[in-house]
Amino acid sequence: MLTHRTQVTARRGIRTGIAIILLALMLFPVYWMLNTSLQPSGNTLSATFFPTHPSLDGYRTAINDQGRNLVTSLLIAAGTVVVTLLIASPCAYALAQFRFRWINWALLAILISQMIPGIVIANALYTLYESIGLLNSIPGLIIANSAHAIPFGILIMRSFMLGVPPSIVEAARVDGAGLLRSFLSVVVPISRNSLITVGLFAFLFAWSDFLYALTLTTQGSTKPVTLGIYTYLGAHISNWSAVMATAMLASIPAIILLVIAQRYIAAGATGGAVK
Amino acid sequence: MSDAKTMTATTDATTPSSRKAPALKGGRRAEEIAKILFVVPAALAIVALFGYPVVKNLVMSFQDYTLRTFFTGQAPWVGLQNYVTVIQDDVFSKAVVNTALFTIGSIAGQFVIGMLLALFFHKNFPLNGVLRALFLLPWLIPLIVGSAAWRAILEQDSGILNVTLQNLGIIDSPVPWLTSPDVALIAVILVNIWLGIPFNLTLLYSGLQHIPDELYEAGAMDGATGWKAFWNITLPNMRAVVGVTLMLGVIYTLKVIDIILGLTQGGPANATQTIATQSYRDSFVEFKFGQGAALSNILIAISLVFSVVYLRATRRQADE
């Protein structure tokens, strides 16, 4: 019996080993980004597997060139989170708990909206923004990014709010709270986790956005960091360590969220599709 | 507090309905309006950010909508001319083939690797959860960052892939991964597979978690283990999840622009141009918005076909 148990432990240990190797292969490009970002600046890539003489020159250049763009991205992402939560959460609650007759049509519209290619939205918003002066503006990019986060947010939060027992909302209503009050003071606190999940994903969507950054800005004045990287990635790359340092800086939100908010990420990753 | 509640409840119950009815009716109407107000902001947002763009694109695709339109405000109606122009363009047939190859290649690779990883992580071992979560990283970082990392790896002269392959003696001279029309599409597909693995792994893994263990126990008694169990128990029970994963994968892949622009900008010689990137080019590089809109409408039409399949798959799943 003891040998059997040792066998099982050994087999599990081997599996963990295999998993680590697979993960290392999967994350190699990310490691390579880190490695290159720490190499001394230059227009050729180094083939050494470790930064034996680590240099922060790449990061210095990156922050000089792209520091402002990182702040722009941060403002756009934060704005998208606020707009998405304000607009999507009441709707999610309504679609989960109020018995509207047209609920299935609304859900169908939301599902279809998720399939509209970003380029379609970019085409239309460009011409619209051109006439109302929202091109090259942070609010303009917040609105465009919310386009993708709102339907996603409604679906995630609705599936969570389906599980909120109507009786506790009714209890608040009996105590004299209006619909909005009971939503804010009862439903929102209970649904906190789904709001956090949606907020995190709205942040990541907007932070990662490249298409709207590329199409809805025409001058250098408002430039999210993704667009900054794209400009770096011209035909001829002159400073690899600066490009990779910027790429690392642009990955920080994803890395932080993966470490500290893993369960929310997991919930959002499956929730959007499988409902 | 609880007394007050009971009292309200009793008053409600004992109040003669004739006296209470009008007040209640007014209250109910206010309540209905309040309920609708919960949906109004989202409804307006969806109409403005999806409804309007779809209609606007449709209208633009029938207009001669170019840079000049922004100055003169005029976009003459040209009927189907934009569609004729983009379809007769030499690049179009190439873009269609590339879109098909890119989508099929990416989905096949992502799905097979994602499924194998999901099956592997379905087993029990220490650190399983943490390691599986770390697999999500490539999916969470901006696509343009992933493209940048691969640009460094695939760089022709000093990129680590060519250097390693040469050191191992597998190739004699560096492969121009992103600059040769012969291999660029393959390279772009490989990068997109890498990006899509986390998504497939996550969805398929969650599907596996929902298959009850008893099915495998019963199957084992009938001699269904290993591959037999996979074909006879796992796959049939995963049908809905597999359907959703594939359809979402197709819909996402059809509209990919970031990765291709970041890696090759559609080149060399249009070798990696897809309908989506060509639509971007027409609108935002050539400023022929009418033609760009026509191409993006063709893209919507293709997506819509797959969407119908997707919606059916989700509905079936909801029924089960």
**B158 and A47 in contact by Cβ < 8 A?**
yes
Residue B141 lies in a domain: yes
pLDDT at residue B177 greater than cutoff 90: yes
pLDDT at A235 (0 to 100): 63
Chain B residues within an 8 Å CB radius of A273: 203, 244-245, 248
- State the residue for tokens 């119908």: B308
Tokens of A211: 């298409």
pLDDT at B24 (0 to 100): 55
Percentage of residues of chain A with pLDDT beyond 70: 95
Mutate to test the interface with B, among A16, A21, A115, A156 (most CBs of B within 10 A): A115
**A95 and B57 in contact by Cβ < 8 A?**
no
Spans of all domains in chain A: 68-274
| B63 beta partners | B77
pLDDT digits (tens, 9 = 90+) for A64-77: 999 999 999 999 99
**B124 and A174 in contact by Cβ < 8 A?**
no
pLDDT at A21 (0 to 100): 97
Please identify among residues 115-144 of chain A the ones whose CB lies closer than 8 Å to any CB of chain B: 115-128, 130, 143-144
Which carries the bigger pLDDT value, residue B13 or residue A41? A41
Please identify among residues 20-79 of chain A the ones whose CB lies closer than 8 Å to any CB of chain B: 20, 22-23, 26-27, 29-30, 32-33, 36, 44-47
pLDDT at residue A38 greater than cutoff 70: yes
pLDDT at B251 (0 to 100): 87
Which carries the bigger pLDDT value, residue A9 or residue B8? A9
pLDDT at residue B119 greater than cutoff 50: yes
Chain A residues within an 8 Å CB radius of B284: 122, 126, 214-215
Residue B3 lies in a domain: no
| CATH number where B262 lies | 1.10.3720.10
pLDDT band for B19, please (50, 70, 90 cuts).
very low
pLDDT at residue B65 greater than cutoff 50: yes
**B141 and A112 in contact by Cβ < 8 A?**
no
A94 reaches B (C-beta below 8 A): yes
H and E: helices and strands count for chain A? 14, 0
Residue B231 lies in a domain: yes
The secondary structure element, H or E, covering residue B183 is none
Inter-chain contacts counted by CB atoms under 8 A, chains A and B: 291
Q: Which domain range does residue B123 map to?
A: 85-319
pLDDT at B18 (0 to 100): 40
A147 reaches B (C-beta below 8 A): yes
pLDDT at residue B2 greater than cutoff 80: no
Residue B210 lies in a domain: yes
The secondary structure element, H or E, covering residue A175 is none
- Out of A46-50, A150-154, B300-304, pick the least confident: A46-50
pLDDT at A63 (0 to 100): 94
CA atoms within 13 A on the CB side of B226: 2
**B144 and A230 in contact by Cβ < 8 A?**
yes
CA angle (B308, B313, B319) in 5-degree steps: 125
Residue B68 lies in a domain: no
Which carries the bigger pLDDT value, residue A240 or residue A44? A240
Which of A27, A113, A178 lies closest to B46 in CB terms? A113
pLDDT band for B232, please (50, 70, 90 cuts).
confident
Closest chain B C-alpha to A30 CA, distance in angstroms: 7
Which of B70, B142, B261 lies closest to A208 in CB terms? B142
**A44 and B124 in contact by Cβ < 8 A?**
no
pLDDT digits (tens, 9 = 90+) for A131-164: 899 999 999 999 999 998 999 999 999 988 998 8
pLDDT at B37 (0 to 100): 93
Residue B9 lies in a domain: no
**A95 and B43 in contact by Cβ < 8 A?**
no
| Mean of the per-residue pLDDT values of chain B | 87
Mutate to test the interface with B, among A32, A34, A37, A123 (most CBs of B within 10 A): A123
Which of A87, A214, A244 lies closest to B42 in CB terms? A87
Which of A93, A126, A208 lies closest to B38 in CB terms? A93
Closest chain B C-alpha to A254 CA, distance in angstroms: 5
Which chain A residue has the Cα nearest residue B34?
A: A179
pLDDT at residue A82 greater than cutoff 70: yes
CATH class of A68-274: mainly alpha
pLDDT digits (tens, 9 = 90+) for B252-286: 899 999 999 999 999 899 999 999 999 999 999 99
pLDDT at residue A35 greater than cutoff 50: yes
pLDDT at residue B21 greater than cutoff 50: no
A217 reaches B (C-beta below 8 A): no
Q: What is the mean pLDDT of residues A237-250?
A: 91
Tokens of A261: 């908010």
Please identify among residues 172-211 of chain A the ones whose CB lies closer than 8 Å to any CB of chain B: 174-175, 178-180, 183, 204, 207-211
Chain B residues within an 8 Å CB radius of A262: 133
Q: What is the mean pLDDT of residues B289-309?
A: 90
DSSP string, chain B: -HHHHHHHHHHHHHS-HHHHHHHHHHHHHHHHHHHHHHHHHHHHHHIIIIIHHHHHHHHHHTB--BHHHHHH----B-TTHHHHHHHHSHHHHHHHHHHHHHHHHHHHHHHHHHHHHHHHHTS--TTHHHHHHHTTHHHHS-HHHHHHHHHHHH-TTT-HHHHHHHHTTS-SS---TTT-TTTHHHHHHHHHHHHHHHHHHHHHHHHHHTS-HHHHHHHHHTT--HHHHIIIIIHHHTHHHHHHHHHHHHHHHHT--HHHHHHTTT-STTTT--HHHHHHIIIIIS-BHHHHHHHHHHHHHHHHHHHHHHHHHHHHHHH-
**B125 and A243 in contact by Cβ < 8 A?**
no
| Mean of the per-residue pLDDT values of chain A | 89
**A146 and B157 in contact by Cβ < 8 A?**
no
pLDDT at B314 (0 to 100): 66
Which carries the bigger pLDDT value, residue B311 or residue B256? B256
Closest chain A C-alpha to B315 CA, distance in angstroms: 11
**A210 and B144 in contact by Cβ < 8 A?**
yes
Distance of CA B141 to the CA centre of its chain: 16
Percentage of residues of chain B with pLDDT beyond 90: 59
Chain A residues within an 8 Å CB radius of B72: none
Q: What is the mean pLDDT of residues B179-190?
A: 95
pLDDT at B11 (0 to 100): 38
Structural domains in chain B (count): 1
Residue B16 lies in a domain: no
Q: How far from B136 is each of A60, B168, B201, CA to CA, in Å?
A: 29, 31, 9
pLDDT at B10 (0 to 100): 36
pLDDT at A250 (0 to 100): 97
**A258 and B140 in contact by Cβ < 8 A?**
yes
Closest chain A C-alpha to B21 CA, distance in angstroms: 18
Contact (CB, 8 A) for B51 and A99:
no
- Out of A105-119, B146-160, B173-187, pick the least confident: A105-119
Which chain A residue has the Cα nearest residue B54?
A: A120
Gap between the Cα atoms of B309 and B234, Å rounded? 22
Residue B286 lies in a domain: yes
Tokens of A259: 């470490």
pLDDT band for A216, please (50, 70, 90 cuts).
very high
Is residue B63 helix, strand or coil? strand
Gap between the Cα atoms of B145 and A70, Å rounded? 13
Which chain B residue has the Cα nearest residue A49?
A: B160
Q: What is the mean pLDDT of residues A165-185?
A: 88
Closest chain B C-alpha to A74 CA, distance in angstroms: 13
**B255 and A118 in contact by Cβ < 8 A?**
yes
Tokens of A91: 């709707």
Which chain B residue has the Cα nearest residue A210?
A: B258
